[in-house]
Amino acid sequence: MRRLGLVVIAALAVTAQAHAATLTVSPSDFSPRRATLQVSAKLTIVRQVGVRLARPDGRPVGWIVPPARRTTLSFGWDGRIAGRRVPDGNYLVKLVYRSSTLAAAPLRIDTTAPALEDLTVSNGSTPFATPLHRERSIGLVM
């Protein structure tokens, strides 16, 4: 009986690896105003899979690519689902087969450009003056 249990466990481990799936999302920090999100997936056997966007708690936002029978997938996403731009925030991109997630990758959507505010640069010395400013300050420019 113990051997049968070990054989079953070994068979399940081999089966899980034989049906492995990979999902790649690049870049993981994404601005749809500046780029296209590159998404690729590979499966070891043909399955009806799709790519779904979900919130961090797992609630689905919508299908990025609807399910279809495939072993590979490669596409660029513009940040829209059903024609509407997805709001800024943290998400999960999921490779979904039926109701199971085969693979997932984190994604941050950020359309706000970075800005420098209250920036002061100093090395602690006297501010530099150009030669023209020095000549005017000592009265040499006529």
| Confidence class for position 18, pLDDT limits 50, 70, 90 | very low
Tokens of 95: 């490779």
Average pLDDT of the chain is 82
Residue 83 is predicted with a pLDDT of: 93
Which range (29-33, 38-42, 57-61, 102-106) has the least confidence? Answer: 29-33
Residue 80 is predicted with a pLDDT of: 95
Q: Does pTM surpass 0.85?
A: no
| Confidence class for position 139, pLDDT limits 50, 70, 90 | low
3-state SS assignment for residue 136: helix
d(CA 86, CA 124): 46
Question: What DSSP state is assigned to residue 127?
Answer: P
Residue 107 in this model has a pLDDT that exceeds 80: yes
What would the 3-class secondary structure string for 6-65 be? HHHHHHHHHHHHHCCEEEEEECCEECCCCCCEEEEEEEEEEEEEEEEEECCCCCEEEEEE
